[in-house]
């Protein structure tokens, strides 16, 4: 999998295009696009009004989920929007129009965004994560309407390894340009891996209130969901991963016909996912990852609890950011809770990937950290912290991971002398069919596993069979018409060796592994001594027996004791 993170400023001209490319990257198979209202010109970062748009593209299809909270309102003005014909949008809550709408198309080494709707001309920051060399498919997924009931996805055409999801909690697409957007701001952003790990942050702001009311939820048991002012409306948990589908189970409540946009990745997609718990002291904090990351996606929340709705000032902030080996890009979204005049903003940073801002009438930095990518880890360098650790999730994407894999080694065959067959790698290995018509040296398997020693046969003299270990190993398939040296299993992996046979003298077969071993079937053929043949006695014969006369008189004589022995000394 190839991964690259790029940030640009988007065209502010209606019909204008912005190409987002990396030389030599190739046409991407997928992209994640993040756009906010934050603008690069002086005095516009932070920008009043909170707008965040998160879109997906799979090389053909695109979708976007977006939420907006207007600033300076004595009655809150909030909206949400979802579309499948744009990759970035923003709802203008002050009217029936949109702030902006960008569509996506392919480029040789990236993507092109075209400004199709522009009712508030502005230059906006945009961060894109480009993904290549893996199968990807974008789905509009509708969960089951019954609590604890399941819904299987449509066929993907590949086995999914990772799912990335957004939802605003609406049924189907909201209206297009010139049509009212759905009231109440709501956005859920989550991810799930085939190992069962899943995380999501959902953020909500109620519309048309004299006092602003914001709620937030961090979940470690779902990929998406919907919340409102006082409750969790529904959650979506990924509960099964198939050969080309996945299954989602509806939790907590009913989603009705609400849609989730899900970007599925498969093939050689190497990703790791877990929880962010922000540090309460400044300094560097390392986080171990399953692979060496090439890119990092960070989603932060003001909430300091897990799977529990918060509807106070903790819910005032939401953050999304990304990092690669050299760059950090972060977006802070604020909708201050419990105010008579709404205070909202969109902020951008080119120095920190984790960027949380919060407050009431005055908004300040809450948690700031830049990300540094390392070998099988990333480091968050905290320069601003909160006394209360905040929650969120991270997704590490690896381009070329060094990982343990399952390997089968089969069919080592020669005509002549075989030296040593060794598999000294930390993986699962099967060794089969070591054969020769000459002298075999040593076949060695360096393992710590379960083994059986079977089938040592020879027509000559049998040497020694020695088994020492605490695992079970099956040795089969070493054959020769010459002298066999030593067969040893001693590698830290699961190995099967089959068939040690010879027609001449067998040397020593030794299993030197830390394992419990059962030797069986040692057979040898050599010189046989006397052979007794038993048969039936012919009972038709006429026996010729003679009686021994008992009239005989035995003649016994005493040995005279007067004799002189005549011994000769042997000359030594």
Looking at the chain, the whole-number percentage of residues with pLDDT higher than 90 is: 58
The residue-averaged pLDDT of 258-287 equals: 96
Task: Supply the DSSP string of 188-248, one letter for each residue.
Answer: EEEEEETTS-EEEEEEEE-SS-SS--EEEEEESS-SEEEE-SSSEEEEEEEEEE-SS-EEE
CA atoms of 152 and 421, how far apart (whole Å): 47
* Domain residue spans of the chain: 2-398, 409-524
pLDDT digits (tens, 9 = 90+) for 354-385: 999 998 899 999 999 999 999 999 999 999 99
| Model confidence at 425: pLDDT above 50 | no
pTM, entire model: 0.71
Retrieve residue 377's tokens: 């880890």
pLDDT digits (tens, 9 = 90+) for 456-513: 443 434 344 443 444 443 445 444 344 444 444 444 444 344 444 434 444 444 444 4
Q: What region, left, alpha or beta, does residue 208 occupy, with left being phi > 0 and alpha being psi -120 to 50 degrees?
A: left
List the single range of 267-276, 366-375, 516-525 with lowest mean pLDDT.
516-525
List the single range of 56-60, 121-125, 526-530 with lowest mean pLDDT.
526-530
Where residue 172 falls among pLDDT bands split at 50, 70, 90? confident
pLDDT digits (tens, 9 = 90+) for 114-167: 999 887 777 889 999 999 999 999 999 999 999 999 999 999 999 999 999 999
CA atoms of 129 and 28, how far apart (whole Å): 10
The residue-averaged pLDDT of 302-330 equals: 96
| Model confidence at 412: pLDDT above 70 | no
pLDDT digits (tens, 9 = 90+) for 75-101: 998 999 899 999 999 887 766 667 889
Looking at the chain, the whole-number percentage of residues with pLDDT higher than 70 is: 69
Retrieve residue 277's tokens: 């718990």
| Model confidence at 311: pLDDT above 90 | yes
State the pLDDT at residue 303: 97
Q: How far is CA 60 from the centre of its chain?
A: 26
State the pLDDT at residue 119: 73
User: 413: number of CA atoms within 13 Å, CB side?
Assistant: 5
The residue-averaged pLDDT of 21-48 equals: 90
State the pLDDT at residue 400: 59
Retrieve residue 161's tokens: 């390894």
CA distances to 61, 135, 217, 334 from 206, rounded to whole Å, are 31, 38, 15, 14
Which 3-state string (H, E, C) describes 409-466?
A: EECCECCCCEEEECCCCCCECCEECEECCCCEEEEEECCCCCEEEECCEECCCEEEEE
The residue-averaged pLDDT of 432-450 equals: 40
CA distances to 29, 192, 399, 403 from 269, rounded to whole Å, are 11, 13, 8, 12
The residue-averaged pLDDT of 103-118 equals: 94
Q: Which of 417, 445, 414, 442 is nearest to 431 (CA)?
A: 445
């Amino acid at each position: 999998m190839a991964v690259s993170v790029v940030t640009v400023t988007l065209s502010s001209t209606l019909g204008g295009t912005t190409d987002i490319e990396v030389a030599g990257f190739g046409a991407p198979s997928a992209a994640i696009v993040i756009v906010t209202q934050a603008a690069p010109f002086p005095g516009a970062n932070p920008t009043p009004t909170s707008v965040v748009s998160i879109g997906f593209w799979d090389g053909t299809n695109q979708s976007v989920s977006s939420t907006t909270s207007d600033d300076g309102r004595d009655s809150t003005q909030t909206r949400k929007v979802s579309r499948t014909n744009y990759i970035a949008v923003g709802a203008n809550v002050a009217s029936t129009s949109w702030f902006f709408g960008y569509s996506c198309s392919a480029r040789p080494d990236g993507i092109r965004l075209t400004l199709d709707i522009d009712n508030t001309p502005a230059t906006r920051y945009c961060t894109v994560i480009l993904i290549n060399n893996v199968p990807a498919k974008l789905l509009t997924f509708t969960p089951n309407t019954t609590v604890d009931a399941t819904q299987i996805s449509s066929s993907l055409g590949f086995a999914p390894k990772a799912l990335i999801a957004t939802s605003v909690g609406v049924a189907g697409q909201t209206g297009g340009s010139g049509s009212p957007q759905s009231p109440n701001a709501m956005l859920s952003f989550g991810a799930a891996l085939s190992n069962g790990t899943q995380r999501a942050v959902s953020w909500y702001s109620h519309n048309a209130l004299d006092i602003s009311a914001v709620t937030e939820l961090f979940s470690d048991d779902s990929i998406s969901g919907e919340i409102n002012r006082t409750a969790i409306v529904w959650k979506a948990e990924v509960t099964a991963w198939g050969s080309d589908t996945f299954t989602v189970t509806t939790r907590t409540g009913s989603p009705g016909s609400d849609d989730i946009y899900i970007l599925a990745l498969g093939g050689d997609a190497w990703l790791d996912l877990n929880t962010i718990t922000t540090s309460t002291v400044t300094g560097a904090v390392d986080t171990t990852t399953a692979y060496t990351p090439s890119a990092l996606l960070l989603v932060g929340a003001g909430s300091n609890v897990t799977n529990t709705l918060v509807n106070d000032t903790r819910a005032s902030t939401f953050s999304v950011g990304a990092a690669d080996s050299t760059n950090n890009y972060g977006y802070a979204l604020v909708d201050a809770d419990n105010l008579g005049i709404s205070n909202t903003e969109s902020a951008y940073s080119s120095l920190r990937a984790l960027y949380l801002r919060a407050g009431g009438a005055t908004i300040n930095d809450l948690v700031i950290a830049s990300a540094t990518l390392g070998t099988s880890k990333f480091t968050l360098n905290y320069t601003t912290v909160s006394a209360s650790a905040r929650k969120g999730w991270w997704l590490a994407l690896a381009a070329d991971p060094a990982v343990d894999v399952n390997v089968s080694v089969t069919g080592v065959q020669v005509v002549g002398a075989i030296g040593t067959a060794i598999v000294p790698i930390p993986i699962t290995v099967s060794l089969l069919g070591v054969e020769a018509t000459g002298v075999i040296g040593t076949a060695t398997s360096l393992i710590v596993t379960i083994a059986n020693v079977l089938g040592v046969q020879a027509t000559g003299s049998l040497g020694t069979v020695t088994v020492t270990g605490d695992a079970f190993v099956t040795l089969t398939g070493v054959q020769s018409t010459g002298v066999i040296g030593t067969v040893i299993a001693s590698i830290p992996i699961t190995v099967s060796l089959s068939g040690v046979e010879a027609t001449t003298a067998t040397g020593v077969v030794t299993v030197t592994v830390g394992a419990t071993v059962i030797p069986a079937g040692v057979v040898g053929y050599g010189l046989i001594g006397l052979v007794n043949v038993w048969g039936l006695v012919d009972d038709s014969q006429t026996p010729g027996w003679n009686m021994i006369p008992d009239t005989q008189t035995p003649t016994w004589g005493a040995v005279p004791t007067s004799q002189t022995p005549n011994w000769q000394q042997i000359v030594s």
